Amino acid sequence: MFNILRAQDQQRGANRTLRFEGEALGGPISFFMVDAEPGQGSMLHVHPYSETWIVQKGEAEFTVGGETTRGYPGDIVVAAPDIPHRFENVGEGRLALICVHPNERILQQNL
């Protein structure tokens, strides 16, 4: 058995980011599909699980704890659980990024 969420049925936010929680379709993974303008990103937050970012397009700056790094297309960055983190589009064009949450729901505490 399988479940499917068709592209035409997906609800994107005002910033064109899709939030998917696996619980809705019986899956153990949730994610954000980010489509961000330069200067946009997430606020500082934490999760009780690790978060994995997959950079598809553009250039992102990731802050995890007190450290920062840059990510480029094809890079994968992982933040440990319970460590404050965020990302920002620091490139000149749009940032396409997938933020993977290994949980059926996104559990996030904004700081």
CATH for 44: 2.60.120.10
Q: Which residues contact 51 (CB under 8 A, 6 or more apart)?
A: 78, 79, 85, 99, 100, 101
Provide the residue range defining the domain that includes 73: 14-105
pLDDT tens by residue, 35-80: 999 999 999 999 999 999 999 999 999 999 999 999 999 999 999 9
Tell me, yes or no, whether 91 lies in a domain: yes
Query: Distances from the Cα of 4 to the Cαs of 7, 26, 33, 35, 40, in angstroms?
Result: 9, 10, 16, 22, 30
Q: Give the chain's domain count.
A: 1
Distance, in Å, from the CA atom of 62 to the CA atom of 92, rounded to the nearest integer, reads 16
Both tokens assigned to 27? 């899956």
Q: Percentage of residues in the chain with pLDDT exceeding 90?
A: 85
pTM of the model: 0.92
Identify the pLDDT of residue 64.
Answer: 97
Identify the pLDDT of residue 107.
Answer: 97
Tell me, yes or no, whether 39 lies in a domain: yes
- Among the residue ranges 13-17, 30-34, 48-52, 102-106, the one predicted with the least confidence is 13-17
Name which of 20, 17, 18 is nearest 4 in CA terms. 20
Tell me, yes or no, whether 46 lies in a domain: yes
Tell me, yes or no, whether 4 lies in a domain: no
Tell me, yes or no, whether 53 lies in a domain: yes
Tell me, yes or no, whether 78 lies in a domain: yes
Tell me, yes or no, whether 7 lies in a domain: no
Identify the pLDDT of residue 13.
Answer: 81
Tell me, yes or no, whether 111 lies in a domain: no
